[in-house]
Chains A and B, each alone.
Chain A
Amino acid sequence: MRAGVIVFPGSNCDRDLAVAFRQAGADVSMIWHKDVSLPDNLDVIGIPGGFSFGDYLRCGAIAARSPICSAVVEHAKRGGYVIGICNGFQVLCETGLLPGTLMRNSGIKFVCKTVGLRVQSTQGAFMQTYETGQEILMPVAHHDGNYTAEDDLISRLDGEGRVAFRYLKNPNGSADDIAGVLSANKRVLGLMPHPERAVDGAHGGTDGTAIFAGLASVLENA
């Protein structure tokens, strides 16, 4: 598995994400946001958490228009895998690769804690190792995780198996308790919780491992 992690000014989970990919057996390239092309033959691109461009204008808005993001969109349109975590999820929504957007948490406050999630979909490489309905733990750390989309879109996402995770107890007001969303082809995953912070016993849990391991097993058998 060849993975690339995009680094924006203000990214702060980029190295953790690289560690999670490497643990699943990936060769990892770190890619600077001003690059205009991706290394050859990347299987998956990770857009990490953080505060790209200081959250100026809107979270993820400036990052989504940076030179490398055009290449990320092309990669996804070719059927490549992309995972966006926290700020990375916000970036993916701003590029249009995922529907909806992330607004300020309904309680106004930054939320930083471990939350319970329910696995809603086991479709696609990222999700296949989980079981539908499985309850897992992952940390969240965000100010803008309040997922919002048009009402008809939310019910459609559920019907298409595109709601990846739901919060057991909603920490941010997100529509229908949605914590993570998949693209129509299930190869683009965006989520507010941090799976890369749950891949080692020392993290306090390893429920995030399945996302990276699931992808690795699909790519190795391809």
Chain B
Amino acid sequence: MSKETELDPVEAKMWISVTINGAKNAYLVEHRMTLADFLRKVVGLSGTHLGCEHGSCGACTVIMNGKAVRSCLLLGVQADGASIETVEGLAQDGALTSLQEAFHVNHALQCGYCTSGFLMSLVAQLRDGPIETEAEAREALSGNICRCTGYTGMVKALLNLPASNGQIGEGL
């Protein structure tokens, strides 16, 4: 039973403190706003994209406390006290990370809409260990959907990452 009309939209907000790409700030967030919309509309980081908004496509993937998660299936208020990494945190001063560079060189994107979600999924997985075979690459890509590339460019990009996989960390 919905009682949405009884709720005062002004009241249904709370202050949260969240670290985004290393910078900690306080924000006033509507209870019902998803983490994805919070990042895009309140924080202004529109690199996180929304595709399906029900957890199937992976376009909205961000890293929360070290884990890749769907930001459309979390509430912004749930990020209170958390550390969030988005695609904007990857390249520093315009210098692409090795993963982004490998995407660029291997034609791993066409329209680019899904790319930020792929990058964040892969950053989290590469921190857990290298991706060395085509089977591993396809498994790593399986939680995200791309409708342009057919994934071959992305598999190539992963298999052609510089052999520095072991040292992939914050700067990936």
Instruction: Report whether chain A binds chain B.
Output: no
Chain B residues with CB under 8 Å of chain A are none
